[in-house]
Amino acid sequence: AEVLELKLNRAAMLVDGLSGERVRWEKTLQTLSELYERLPGDCLVSSGYVSYLGPFTSIYRDELVEIWLNE
């Protein structure tokens, strides 16, 4: 009975410790889901940046990206 009590106490401690991990995992899942939704648009802007904006100054490139993002 003593061994069983010890196992139950350890199991309870493990469950309590993992409950905080569940919250962290849920937040991470939410963040990754949002990033995944934005991925196609980010790829489009990145490919446009690489393809078309190379010869321009960094200030002008930033201005053009802002225009792209607002359209």
> How far, in Å, are 9, 11, 15, 16, 46 from residue 5 at the CA level?
6, 10, 15, 17, 58
What does the pLDDT read at residue 20? Answer: 85
pTM: 0.62
- Domain map of the chain by residue range? 2-70
How far apart (Å, rounded) are the C-alpha atoms in residues 6 and 2?
6
How far apart (Å, rounded) are the C-alpha atoms in residues 51 and 46?
9
Q: What is the mean pLDDT of residues 62-69?
A: 95
Q: What is the mean pLDDT of residues 22-47?
A: 96
